[in-house]
Structure 1
Amino acid sequence: MGLPKSLGGLEDNPVEALKAYEILASAEASVGWVTWNNHLACTFGRFLSEPSMKAVYGNPSHVYANSARPEGVAKTVADGYIVSGRWTLVSGCELADWFVLRCLVVSDGSPTTLGPGANLKLFFIPKAEVEIIDTWHVGGLSGTGSHDIVVKEAFVKKDYAVGFDSPVTIDNAYNRLPIGCINAAGCAALALGVLKAAIDELVAICLERVTSSKSPDLRDRATVQAAVAKSKTLLAAKRLQLHHSVEALWNDAQQGNTFTDEQLADVWAASCEAAKEARSMISEIYAVAGTVSLYKKHRIERVHRDIHAILQHGIIQPHWMNQAGMAYVGLKPTGAMFRT
């Protein structure tokens, strides 16, 4: 969904990607999460030359992983770079054939630490150069395999190193979309998918636990009834707002129009609020379901762990709401990824 048609990509409305993430996450959060991360690694390919893009993405069976954290160092050498580093939280690393990893580029006269003037690039590195360190021992999203990875003195050609300011090789509507807020929308869609799983599970338990005794069933509790009604309404509302804000960008991308800060703010704000409200609603479902929530055989227990893991991602943290608010009150947002 993040590749051009020449490589078998969809090149279509990004709302369809959001729907896919939500469906996958409603079945299993870790599957949706790895798919979402795989898509991000594919969108980074827009900055590659066409020959390099074909080399990295030409095999339709390949899977991709990435880390936008600048946790590696790339030393400039003739015809390329020598890359070394250790990256944390690289979701899907055990499945990946290619990795897109961000590094600080060091050359004569350039800054050697992160900060003002630092030269950061993304490097496309095959799995043969990557060592996986078994570090992912967690509760939520345990199936993502988000281990640490290590790269030691790997040579990367210049053609496989790009920056967020690199020219976009193939000019199509999808490649005109901003990477940052679209990625935030994808994370929000995952959260909504997990919320749907919690709602469906609670309703299923209510229908299964109908007894002939005089004691009230789970579905007879006022708190449960209210939670089901509230959660269904919240899910529909947040989904609609999220899709509407992304659809607006898509319409302008097709026309080649420049996005306003307010349009981008709409996506950032919708994403952050959808994810936050999904977490709050799932916690409420967990509470009203009572002792059922404690047992791993019921999905409510797992989705409660998963939603809290999803909300730890930096792309939907509260500071993006501040950035959106800056745009709404006429200030210029300062977040590095706000417009990227």
Structure 2
Amino acid sequence: MHESATDIMTILPSDAAKEVYETAVSHRDETEDLRRLAPKLVDHIKETGLFRLGLPRFLGGWEDNPVELLKSYEVLSSSEAAVGWSVWNNHLACTFGRYLDEDSMREIYNDPSHVYANSARPEGVAEIVPGGYNVSGRWTLVSGCQISDWFVLRCLVTGKGLPSTLGPGANLKLFFIPREAIEIIDTWHVGGLRGTGSHDVKVDNHFVKEAYAVDFDSPVAIDNPYSRLPIGCLNAAGNAAIALGIFKAAMDDLIRICFEKITPGKNPDLRDRDRIQSVVAKSKTLLSSMRCQLHNSVSVLWDESVNGNTYTDKQLADVWSASIQAATTARSMVTEIYAAAGTVSLYTENKIERAHRDVHAVLQHGIVQPHWMNQAGMAYLGIKPKGAMFRI
């Protein structure tokens, strides 16, 4: 086991993901049955530091080219989608920490064994009180809540003449709340991404000090190329990488089955069928091309950040459009693989069955919905995109 957070990221995140791969595969059934990551799997991910990638380097984070993160999400998701999703979700919760002052950042992220969860849905209310806020609410779909130590939850701020409902003029903030203030409500009874443990969570009148409340306009305490990267489109890119990992798992499983399955009687074996051959070739090409475009567009943003440049709307649009296209292509191809494989796709012993459920769940996330492609198109056509997260 690594001794400290700063020791952890001496290896590439993609190599750390490869270390976790077999552990994730061997605990797939337990993760599915528990509806959360298996305990031994959680421990292994903690040891590699993959839960802390979004933090500054002095807290064990990556702080380098984010393409490495995309590679790690893809590897992890090809082993078990819930693992890629959980690491990606932790990255966002850690990224939100960039808006804390440095002392608060050290307080919340000081323990290398901690795991983080978040919800950007403004499903809570924070009443202004002396020294901070009283937070109450119930948030849905909080992935990894059972294994997390800190939560970043978004609320509508009320009091001092502010609007008491969502809409024009509403003041929204993110609040950092410890596990002891969280009640978990067992709601995650689903098919896809079952192992993410995305239950509802509830907070009842918990005081949050002023320093632990931030928004997207808060100053960034640690100024470096990584902390200047946009949150929205890189979150979309991470989601797309998860979908690509699931796509790869389904494709590889189909190829494996083709070599192992012998068809009785006079019918041709799977690998001798025209449809299967076409699907495999199409899958290989689309996976490589979608991955290449996604990585290239993110690399451009990294280079601009390293050089201290401001991103253009077209550069951001490149990441948004590459992300949405990669995710939707992955979903389409997993469905095609599922159909082409025939009855073998029905059996849970094959990854294709799980991949089909998981990839559809991944694309239910708001960060890869079709309207982001419209926003990208606006940028290409010289129209200013209006999406709230387009530039953040």
Give the match for residue 147 of structure 2: 95
- Rounded to whole Å, the distance in 2 between the matches of 1:310 and 1:152 is 30
Give the match for residue 56 of structure 2: 4
Give the match for residue 279 of structure 1: 331
- Rounded to whole Å, the distance in 2 between the matches of 1:212 and 1:303 is 27
Quote the sequence identity (%).
70
Candidates 184, 191, 195, aligned match of 1:143: 195
Give the match for residue 47 of structure 2: none
Tell whether 2:118 aligns with 1:63. Answer: no
- Rounded to whole Å, the distance in 2 between the matches of 1:120 and 1:50 is 22
Give the match for residue 356 of structure 2: 304
- Rounded to whole Å, the distance in 1 between the matches of 2:335 and 2:264 is 30
Give the match for residue 311 of structure 2: 259
Candidates 76, 80, 85, aligned match of 1:28: 80
In structure 1, give the amino acid aligned to 2:356.
H
Report the aligned-residue RMSD: 0.9
Tell whether 2:257 aligns with 1:205. Answer: yes
Give the match for residue 345 of structure 2: 293
Partner-residue secondary structure (3-state), 1:121: strand
Partner-residue secondary structure (3-state), 1:22: helix
- Rounded to whole Å, the distance in 1 between the matches of 2:160 and 2:210 is 17
In structure 2, give the amino acid aligned to 1:267.
V
- Rounded to whole Å, the distance in 2 between the matches of 1:71 and 1:169 is 27
In structure 2, give the amino acid aligned to 1:327.
A
- Rounded to whole Å, the distance in 2 between the matches of 1:306 and 1:140 is 4
Candidates 162, 186, 198, aligned match of 2:214: 162
Q: CA deviation at 1:6?
A: 1.5
In structure 2, give the amino acid aligned to 1:10.
W
Q: CA deviation at 1:210?
A: 3.9
- Rounded to whole Å, the distance in 1 between the matches of 2:263 and 2:386 is 58
In structure 1, give the amino acid aligned to 2:96.
F
Tell whether 2:222 aligns with 1:173. Answer: no
List per-residue Cα deviations over 1:118-166 (Å, max 9, x = no partner): 1000000000000000000000000000000000000000000000010
Candidates 381, 387, 391, aligned match of 1:329: 381
Aligned residues: 340
Scaled by the length of structure 2, the TM-score of the pair is: 0.86
Matches within 5 A, 1:229-268: 229-268=281-320
- Rounded to whole Å, the distance in 2 between the matches of 1:281 and 1:196 is 10
Give the match for residue 92 of structure 2: 40
Higher relative contact order, chain-length normalized (CA < 8 Å, sep 6+): 1
Tell whether 2:134 aligns with 1:77. Answer: no
List per-residue Cα deviations over 1:203-234 (Å, max 9, x = no partner): 00001114696531011110000000000100
Partner-residue secondary structure (3-state), 2:226: helix
- Rounded to whole Å, the distance in 1 between the matches of 2:330 and 2:161 is 48
Partner-residue secondary structure (3-state), 2:146: coil
Tell whether 2:186 aligns with 1:134. Answer: yes
In structure 1, give the amino acid aligned to 2:319.
V
In structure 2, give the amino acid aligned to 1:34.
S
Partner-residue secondary structure (3-state), 2:207: strand
- Rounded to whole Å, the distance in 1 between the matches of 2:214 and 2:89 is 18
Give the match for residue 67 of structure 2: 15
In structure 1, give the amino acid aligned to 2:107.
A
Scaled by the length of structure 1, the TM-score of the pair is: 0.99
Which moved further from structure 2: 174-183 or 210-219? 210-219
The answer (yes or no) to whether the contact 2:263–2:270 under 8 Å persists in 1 is no
Give the match for residue 21 of structure 2: none
